[in-house]
Amino acid sequence: MVLEKLLSILPHEDIHMEHWSDGESSGWRVSTCFEIGEWKEWVEADTLPMAICKAALKAMG
């Protein structure tokens, strides 16, 4: 439900989700803003549901 709400808030933006790892730590990140060939304004969390919730809260302002 949160992802559907995020999509309704940002109908003209893509949402990018990815798992990252740097060898020592890892987690999920979500971005809803693509500018100049790269994703901007990442939110990060240990789990994908938490990253999605953080992105939705950020989109709500």
pLDDT of residue 34: 64
What is the predicted pLDDT for the residue at 36?
67
pLDDT digit string (tens) for the chain, length 61 residues: 788 887 887 777 788 899 989 989 999 999 877 666 777 788 999 999 999 889 888 887 7
Q: Which fold has domain 2-60?
A: Double Stranded RNA Binding Domain (3.30.160)
User: What pLDDT does 13 receive?
Assistant: 78
Helix (H) or strand (E) holding 38: strand 38-40
Domain boundaries, the chain: 2-60
Q: Alpha carbon of 51 to those of 22, 30, 36, 37, 54: distances in Å?
A: 18, 6, 23, 22, 5
Residue 15: its pLDDT value, please? Answer: 83
